[in-house]
Every structure is written in structure tokens, then in C-alpha cells.
Amino acid sequence: MGLCGLAVLLLAATVLSLAVGSGQVSLHDLVHGVFDPDRSVRGQLVVREVRIPRTLAGLLAGVALGLAGTVMQGVTRNPLADPGLLGINSGAAVAVVFAMSVLSLTEPEQYIWFGFLGAALAAALVYGVASFGREGATPVKLALAGAAATALLVSVTDTMLLTDSHTYDQFRFWQVGALNGRDLDVLLQALPFVAAGAVLALGLGPRLNGLALGDDVARALGQRVAVARLAGAAATVLLCGAATAVAGPIAFVGLAVPHAVRMFTGPDHRWILPYSALLAPVLLLVADVLGRVVARPGEVQVGVVTAAVGCVPFILLVRRRGKAAL
């Protein structure tokens, strides 16, 4: 499947996200709700006020997670790299809990900036710790520093939540990962960070190909390894920080999408990156639609669906790669 095919699939997933939900919306209401809404008509109002922001949040978070997962796996040369590896999710969680508990912020547009700031500071801390020593921030040191930072940040989050049950009730809905309840103001705040991170990530394809060959080979080819890894870390912070702040710590998407894409593109990151940017929002939107219809009239949050549904194809991918290595 080429990029054009994936673009068509993404368009279909977008339309599906706008059309399907716990409430019935006619085709007439769908079209008018998107282009010329009559706010006195319930179906058109649902499309305009609920489903359009929700779909845009899925597109924004999906693009960010797909690109971030690819860059993280390329920079760390770790096939299991995801936003949790470098403590990004944990850093965002600490900052959000602090905003809710200490500053009494309750609305997403209020604490989104704390989530982004926490994710960025956590990634900077991990990269700074891993950079000590002559070798610099090697893949192994990044993974170890990320694991240590995650353990520390999780303990801090748990300590704050144990002393504030009201904050825990608020935080648990954000923590599971969700697209609902995000208005356009929140998305507009995150859009510049996703756009900047996407441009930076898409330009890293040749550098990630060099890093995949090993640091010594990359240097022999004239590549500045430290600069490439720092640029990758910056793109990851922008993308993961914005996606986590918008939708919470959604699992699996950034981890598995690059693996699925490599089945079609091979190891060339110049192709993996744009393919992942299109496939990840497809997966996220379809998972969100499934969550809306499987538990009507309620719904299952998208973070639960991606973790439950996504583990099956990911296990199959791991088994296939394992057999190929034998």
C-alpha cells in the first residue's frame, strides 16, 4: 500500500469518526454539521461541537505518536522504544498531577501546558543523565536513564495522588488516554508544537539511516552523531509532549506502528516516517470509533482500546521477526 492508498484510508477513517458514535447522526446532519451547521438541530450540533474536535484530536495525536515512535526507535536503536522509554509519559503525569492538586486546575486547556512542560523536562533530564561520559548518550544509557527516571517520577506521582483523592478522580480519566472532551482551543495550542516536531522528524530520515548502521559507521560516513541524536530528542519532545498533553499517555501506537510500516517500506527511514505519520492516526481513529460502539450508550476510552486490540497484531509482528532471525 502506497502513500496515496494510506491517505485514502486516513480520509475514510476521518469520515467514520465523524459519522459513527453512541448517538445516531444522519448523512444530511453530518454534511451540514461539518460545513454549515444549524445549532438548533441536535445531530448537526453533535457533529460540530463533539465529533469534529474529537476527530481533530485523533489526527493530531496520531501523527505525533507515529512520528515520535519512529524517531525514538531510530535514535535509540531500540525496537521497543515508545514515549514511556524516556520517561515522557511519567514526566507529563507528574506535571498534570501537580497542576490539579497544588494549583487546582481542572480544565484540559489549563493543565495541557503543564503536561507538555513535564514531558519536555523529563526527556531533557534523561538525555542529560545519559550524556555523561565519553561515549555520550548511547542507546543503552538512554534506556537505563529512562527506566530510572520513570521509576522516580511514578513514585512522585503516586505520592501526590495518595494524599489527594479528589485529584486522583480527575487524573485517572486523563491517564487512561482519551480523545473526548478536547475543545478547539486545546488543539490550537498543541498544533504549533506538532507541526514543528513533524517538520524536524521528517527531515531526520537520512540521519536515522546512518544511526541504524552504528555510531562508528555513521561517523565514518561524515555524520555528526551527537547532533543527529540531539535533533531526534528535540523532535521526540515536541511530538510526544504535545500528544500526551492533548490525549494523555496513549499506549501501543508509537510502539507498533513503525514495526507494521517496515513490513511495506523496509528499513529506510525516509519512507518509514511519512508512512507512520499516516498509519498512526488511522489506527487511533478506528480504535476510538470501536470504543464508542462496543459499550453503548457509554464508551471505552481510546487508550484502553489501543492497548487491548493492538497487542494481538504486535505479538504477531514480534513472532514473525523472531522466526526471521532464526
* Angle between helix 205-212 and 52-76 (nearest 10): 40
What are 281's three cell numbers?
A: 492516526
User: Average of pLDDT values for 74-90?
Assistant: 77
- Indicate the pTM of the whole model: 0.85
Alpha-carbon distance of 229 to 148, in angstroms, equals: 20
* Phi/psi of residue 319, nearest 5 degrees: -65, -40
Q: Where are the alpha helices (DSSP H) in the chain?
A: 3-19, 27-35, 42-46, 52-76, 88-101, 108-130, 139-162, 165-175, 184-202, 205-212, 215-220, 225-247, 253-265, 269-293, 302-325
User: Average of pLDDT values for 209-227?
Assistant: 80
* Phi/psi of residue 138, nearest 5 degrees: -75, 160
Q: How far is CA 43 from CA 9, 58, 288, 291, in A?
A: 25, 21, 19, 20
* 3-state secondary structure at position 161: helix
Name the one residue in this structure whose C-alpha cell is 538525555. Answer: 127
pLDDT by residue (tens digit) across 244-286?
778 877 877 888 888 888 888 888 889 999 999 999 999 999 9
Alpha-carbon distance of 259 to 257, in angstroms, equals: 5
Mean of the per-residue pLDDT values for the chain?
Answer: 80
* Residue of 192 and 130 predicted with greater confidence: 192
pLDDT at 198: 93
pLDDT at 222: 76
Structural domains of the chain in order of their starting residue, each with its CATH number: 3-325 (1.10.3470.10)
pLDDT at 319: 67
Alpha-carbon distance of 10 to 16, in angstroms, equals: 10
Most confident of 164-168, 194-198, 220-224, 312-316: 194-198
Most confident of 49-58, 192-201, 232-241: 192-201
Check if the beta carbon of residue 86 is closer than 8 Å to that of residue 244. Answer: no
pLDDT by residue (tens digit) across 123-155?
888 878 887 777 766 767 777 888 888 888 888
Alpha-carbon distance of 79 to 75, in angstroms, equals: 10
pLDDT at 326: 41
User: Average of pLDDT values for 7-13?
Assistant: 91
Q: What is the identity of the amino acid at 220?
A: A
DSSP single-letter state for residue 179: -
Which residues have CB under 8 Å from 99's CB, separation 6+?
A: 105, 110, 111, 114
Total residues found in the chain within this entry: 326
* Residue of 33 and 325 predicted with greater confidence: 33
Check if the beta carbon of residue 190 is closer than 8 Å to that of residue 246. Answer: yes
